[in-house]
Amino acid sequence: MSTVAEIFQTMEYGPAPESDKEVLSWLGKHERVFGHYIGGAWTEPGQLFDVMNPATSKVIARVTNGTKADVDAAVAAARAALPEWKGLAPHARARFLYALARGVQKHSRLLAVLESMDNGKSIRETRDIDIPLVARHFYHHAGWAQLLDSEFAGYEAIGVVGQIIPWNFPLLMLAWKIAPALAAGNTIILKPAEFTPLTALCFAEIAHEAGIPAGVINIVNGHGETGAAIVEHADVDKIAFTGSTEVGRIIRKATAGSGKKLSLELGGKSPFIVYEDADLDSVVEGVVDAIWFNQGQVCCAGSRLLVQEGVAERLVAKLRARMEKLRVGSPLDKAVDMGAIVAPVQLERIRGLVQQGVSEGATMWQPSWACPTEGCFYPPTLFTDVQPSSTIAQVEIFGPVLVTMTFRTPEESVALANNTPYGLAASIWTESINLALDIAPKIKAGVVWVNSTNLFDAAAGFGGYRESGFGREGGREGMWEYVKRAHGRRAPKSAERAGVAGAAVHQASATPAAASAPSSAGLPPIDRTPKLFIGGKQARPDQGYTRRIVSPSGVVVGESPEGNRKDIRNAVEAAHAAAKSWARATGHNRGQILYYIAENLSTRAREFATRIDEMTGCGARRAKQEVDVSISRLFTYAAWADKYDGAVHSVPIRGVAIAMNEPVGVIGVACPDEHPLLGLISLAAPAMATGNATVVIPSQSFPLAATDFYSVLETSDVPAGVINIVTGDKDALVKVLAEHDGVEAVWYFGARDGVRATELASASNMKRTWATWHERDWLDADDGEGREFLRAATQVKNIWVPYGE
Burial of 44 (0-12, 13-18, 19+ CB in 10 A): exposed
What does the alpha-carbon distance between residue 624 and residue 675 come to, in Å, rounded to a whole number?
Answer: 11
Amino acid at position 315, single letter: L
Whether the CB-CB separation of 75 and 160 falls below 8 Å is answered with yes
Does 329 sit near ligand NDP (CB under 6 A)?
no
Does 530 sit near ligand NDP (CB under 6 A)?
no
Does 473 sit near ligand NDP (CB under 6 A)?
no
Q: How many other β-carbons are positioned within 10 Å of the β-carbon of residue 421?
A: 15
Distances (CA, A) of 682 to 155, 423, 583, 598, 670: 21, 29, 19, 12, 12
Q: Which of residues 176-205 bind ligand NDP (CB under 6 A)?
A: 191, 193-194
Whether the CB-CB separation of 627 and 743 falls below 8 Å is answered with no
CB of 792 to ligand NDP, least distance (A): 24
What does the alpha-carbon distance between residue 205 and residue 193 come to, in Å, rounded to a whole number?
Answer: 18
DSSP per-residue string spanning 328-348: B--TTBTT-SB---S-HHHHH
What does the alpha-carbon distance between residue 296 and residue 755 come to, in Å, rounded to a whole number?
Answer: 38
**Which residue of the chain is nearest ligand NDP when measured via CB?**
227
The enclosing H or E element of 219 equals strand 217-219
Does 301 sit near ligand NDP (CB under 6 A)?
no
Backbone angles phi, psi at 296, to 5 degrees: 80, 5
CB of 474 to ligand NDP, least distance (A): 14
Which of 106, 223, 487, 489 forms a contact with ligand NDP (CB under 6 A)? 223
CB of 753 to ligand NDP, least distance (A): 24
Between 167 and 702, CB nearer to ligand NDP: 167
What does the alpha-carbon distance between residue 796 and residue 435 come to, in Å, rounded to a whole number?
Answer: 21
Which of the ranges 222-230, 505-513, 567-575, 711-719 carries the binding residues for ligand NDP, by CB under 6 A?
Answer: 222-230
Between 250 and 517, CB nearer to ligand NDP: 250
Which of 23, 171, 231, 483 forms a contact with ligand NDP (CB under 6 A)? 231
* Dihedral over Cα of 226, 231, 234, 239: its sign: positive
Does 227 sit near ligand NDP (CB under 6 A)?
yes
Which of 24, 250, 583, 605 forms a contact with ligand NDP (CB under 6 A)? 250
Give the SS3 label for residue 13. Answer: coil
Does 353 sit near ligand NDP (CB under 6 A)?
no
Q: How many residues touch ligand NDP (CB under 6 A)?
A: 26
What does the alpha-carbon distance between residue 611 and residue 624 come to, in Å, rounded to a whole number?
Answer: 10
Does 174 sit near ligand NDP (CB under 6 A)?
no
The enclosing H or E element of 539 equals strand 537-539
Does 343 sit near ligand NDP (CB under 6 A)?
no
Given the residues 194, 202, 299, 376, the one annotated as active site: 299
Between 266 and 601, CB nearer to ligand NDP: 266
CB of 285 to ligand NDP, least distance (A): 23
Does 243 sit near ligand NDP (CB under 6 A)?
yes
Between 194 and 739, CB nearer to ligand NDP: 194
Picking from 646, 672, 692, the residue whose alpha carbon sits closest to that of residue 793 is: 692
Does 66 sit near ligand NDP (CB under 6 A)?
no
Question: In sequence order, which residues have a C-beta less than 8 Å from that of residue 226 and are 6 or more positions away?
Answer: 65, 66, 67, 70, 71, 191, 220
User: What does R_g of the chain's alpha carbons equal in angstroms?
Assistant: 29
Between 193 and 696, CB nearer to ligand NDP: 193
Burial of 11 (0-12, 13-18, 19+ CB in 10 A): exposed
Between 227 and 563, CB nearer to ligand NDP: 227
Does 766 sit near ligand NDP (CB under 6 A)?
no
What does the alpha-carbon distance between residue 581 and residue 583 come to, in Å, rounded to a whole number?
Answer: 5
Given the residues 18, 115, 125, 265, the one annotated as active site: 265
What does the alpha-carbon distance between residue 149 and residue 155 come to, in Å, rounded to a whole number?
Answer: 8
Q: Which of residues 16-45 bind ligand NDP (CB under 6 A)?
A: none
Does 164 sit near ligand NDP (CB under 6 A)?
yes
What does the alpha-carbon distance between residue 130 and residue 170 come to, in Å, rounded to a whole number?
Answer: 9
The contact pattern for ligand NDP, residues 270-299, with x = CB under 6 A and - = no contact, is: -----------------------------x
Which of 78, 174, 198, 266 forms a contact with ligand NDP (CB under 6 A)? 266
CB of 250 to ligand NDP, least distance (A): 5
Distances (CA, A) of 54 to 122, 126, 268, 377, 714: 12, 15, 24, 8, 65
Backbone angles phi, psi at 338, to 5 degrees: -130, 135
Q: Which of residues 398-437 bind ligand NDP (CB under 6 A)?
A: 398
Between 168 and 187, CB nearer to ligand NDP: 168
CB of 577 to ligand NDP, least distance (A): 33
Burial of 352 (0-12, 13-18, 19+ CB in 10 A): exposed
Tell me if residue 299 is catalytic: yes
Between 113 and 193, CB nearer to ligand NDP: 193
Strand partners, 274: 307, 429
Between 341 and 362, CB nearer to ligand NDP: 341
Which of the ranges 243-251, 415-423, 609-617, 752-760 carries the binding residues for ligand NDP, by CB under 6 A?
Answer: 243-251
Backbone angles phi, psi at 773, to 5 degrees: -105, 0
CB of 165 to ligand NDP, least distance (A): 6
CB of 434 to ligand NDP, least distance (A): 32
Picking from 701, 709, 680, the residue whose alpha carbon sits closest to that of residue 548 is: 701
CB of 305 to ligand NDP, least distance (A): 18
Between 225 and 645, CB nearer to ligand NDP: 225
Which of the ranges 124-132, 146-154, 245-253, 678-686 carries the binding residues for ligand NDP, by CB under 6 A?
Answer: 245-253
- Side by side, the strands of the sheet bearing 546-550 are 506-509, 546-550, 556-561
CB of 157 to ligand NDP, least distance (A): 23
Q: How many other β-carbons are positioned within 10 Å of the β-carbon of residue 416?
A: 18
Tell me if residue 209 is catalytic: no
**CA 485 to chain centroid:** 20
Which of the ranges 223-231, 287-295, 353-361, 622-630 carries the binding residues for ligand NDP, by CB under 6 A?
Answer: 223-231
CB of 163 to ligand NDP, least distance (A): 10
As annotated, the active-site residues are 265, 299
Applying CB under 6 A, the residues found at the interface with ligand NDP are 164-168, 191, 193-194, 223-224, 227-228, 231, 242-244, 247, 250-251, 266-267, 299, 346, 349, 396, 398
